[in-house]
Amino acid sequence: MTSSTTTGTVGDGLLHDESIHAAFDTIVEKVGEYSAQITDVREPTAEIATDFKQMLTDAGKIKGRPLMYPSISSGVGNGALVEMADGSVKWDMLIGIGVHFMGHSNPKVIKAQLDAALLDTTKHGNLQTSYDAVTFGERLIDHASKNSRLAHAFITTSGAMANESAIKVCYQKHAPATRVLAFENCFMGRSVTMAQIGDSAAGRQGIPLSTQVDYVPFWNKDRADAMGGATKFIDYTIGRLERYQSRYAGQISTFIFELVQGEGGFNVSNPDYLKALMEFCRAHRIAVWADEIQTFGRTEQMFAFDYYGLGDFIDVCTVGKMTQACATMYTEEYNPKGGLLSGTFTGATVDFTVGNALIDELASEGNYGPDGKFAQHHAEFCRQVDLLAAKHPDWFPETPGSEGISGGVGGMMRFTPFGGDKKKVMQACRKAYDEGVICFYCGHGPFHVRMLPPLPVMKMEDWARVFECMERALGKVAAGAS
């Protein structure tokens, strides 16, 4: 089971009642019977089209604009396949931009959700919680501290709130310093502060700019080669940092490291580049903050800072999305004073029971490493892109600013059709949805099709079936279909 308390209490008896768990096992088995009926992509059911159209109308009315995709699920799926409320079935290669990494109708997730239903309250907070929130934080720290000095975790409800907590920790530690360093094309979340730090004009339109941010380039091999190599690019960026440090001596609180850029294009960095920047921060007493809201669990290690071998430099780290509940982790040195971090909610019971199950799943043998399951899936994804490009070379012209037609790392996957043209890439994503694949775009020019597949339940043979749908979608875009 995924929930726990002290022995000898009434609650302990409830959580370990064998008759309840036998009933749960029956429910999980029954869900599996329905899930097993979903085996392949399927067209919408004509008989329920009117009802589904009304659902979409209602959703758009409440939101104030139509949904980007006509995407409302029926509540059941099978691994990487999900049934929509119109009766159609699609390959879910986006998983809500990462929030259901273990796929659809996963029996481990269903069981964890049932365990959560036993507890006496739905929400947890800083004044009263169950032990599940504690074990969730313990699991994170147990794994994070293997190769870093991270020692504590403050749990919160969203990635943006985890980042808000992180910047407060950095501000307090380095007060009165208020400036922030970040990478060009970074994304930090949708709160007022995070929207100002994120390098997107649309994301901060109309927002008063009170956060002082300076940007440096993210690693780019083509740009480095044009400069004469990696050392030249490192020297250039360190020179930028030295100018900021000279201009704002004592005023820079933190450098936010998006170790693999998400919204910016699934851009993978160079470890020597990151190390040089982190060494600069350490020498000038600037907090090194690893933003792993999107990277956690998806690279060839559980933490991207381990993937790059940079754990010793990390002062603060934020995780979210797939973790269900979110967290701000920090070293003993950065442990904030009482009163700085709080909040009514830390999360719901189910966030912690499912989050604990997910961390245990990630930690299971065989997922990570250069020959691990996640790396193998990434290699197969790239192979499918290469096969598609060989069959339709005109769909994949040479694209300046893109390191090959496929990229990313582990479960962060992207490919670049139509020269990275934004209009065509977005159209390709919409056509892919119609053909049975849920995906999205990323980047700031060139633009890419991105996928965040549910790797724990993805089968290697699924990739060919996914790309059959993608081929039909790209073909329609190439043919000029609207």
- Predicted local distance difference test score (pLDDT) of residue 128: 82
Q: Return the ∠ at Cα 165 (arms to 163 and 170), rounded to 5°.
A: 95
pLDDT of 1 higher than 70:
no
pLDDT of 3 higher than 80:
no
Orientation angle between helical segments 107-116 and 349-363, nearest 10 degrees: 150
- pTM, whole model, 2 decimals? 0.95
Report how far apart, in Å, the C-alpha atoms of 454 and of each of 72, 78, 91, 408, 460 are.
Answer: 18, 11, 10, 15, 12
What sign does the dihedral 47-50-54-60 (CA atoms) show?
Answer: positive
Q: Return the ∠ at Cα 113 (arms to 109 and 118), rounded to 5°.
A: 150
Helix (H, G, I), strand (E, B) or coil at 229: coil
Residue 481: pLDDT band by 50, 70, 90 thresholds? confident
> What value does the mean pLDDT take over residues 318-329?
96
**CB of 213 within 8 A of CB of 153?**
no
Between 100 and 402, the higher pLDDT residue: 100
As a whole number of Å, the CA-based R_g of the chain is 23
- Predicted local distance difference test score (pLDDT) of residue 129: 84
Q: Average pLDDT, whole number, for the chain?
A: 95
Residue 339: pLDDT band by 50, 70, 90 thresholds? very high
| Phi–psi pair at 72, nearest 5 degrees | -130, 120
- Predicted local distance difference test score (pLDDT) of residue 468: 98
| Phi–psi pair at 244, nearest 5 degrees | -60, -45
- Predicted local distance difference test score (pLDDT) of residue 130: 84
| Two tokens, residue 395 | 């769909």
What sign does the dihedral 361-365-370-375 (CA atoms) show?
Answer: negative
Give the separation between CA 186 and CA 265, rounded to whole angstroms.
Answer: 10
Residue 49: pLDDT band by 50, 70, 90 thresholds? confident
Residue 482: pLDDT band by 50, 70, 90 thresholds? low
> What value does the mean pLDDT take over residues 29-48?
97
Q: How far is CA 146 from the centre of its chain?
A: 22
> What value does the mean pLDDT take over residues 219-225?
93
Count of other CB atoms within 10 angstroms of residue 436: 22
**CB of 149 within 8 A of CB of 336?**
no
Q: How far is CA 52 from the centre of its chain?
A: 29
Residue 69: pLDDT band by 50, 70, 90 thresholds? confident
All domains of the chain in start order, with CATH: 37-98+367-482 (3.90.1150.10), 123-363 (3.40.640.10)
Give me the percent of the chain exceeding a pLDDT of 90: 88
Strand 406-409 with 347-348, pairing: unpaired
Burial class (CB in 10 A: 0-12, 13-18, 19+), 216: middle
Tokens 């929130």 sit on residue? 133
pLDDT of 166 higher than 70:
yes
Q: Return the ∠ at Cα 383 (arms to 429 and 297), rounded to 5°.
A: 70
